[in-house]
Amino acid sequence: MNKIENFSPEEKSTELDRRFNEAYKEIDQRCEVFGNYLRNIVASLRAGTAKEKDVRILLRDEIDGLLYSVQHLDDKKHKK
């Protein structure tokens, strides 16, 4: 991939938009997966097959991943 600094202003704008859209799609997909994940956790807790402590750790890790993605998206947005 070429460095964006070498692009013309028009190319730079187009490339930044493309990168932003890719990042947004990734976050959207992660949110969908996270929603499914939450439904499965709730079902496991109701069935008594999951331990609350383990669920807390897993949720924290998933939320951290989502927050990282959002921050990364925000960084791309501000680089325009």
pLDDT tens per residue, range 58-67: 888 888 888 8
pTM above 0.75, yes or no: no
pLDDT surpassing 80 at residue 4: no
pLDDT value of residue 76: 57
Q: How far apart are the first and last CA of the chain?
A: 18
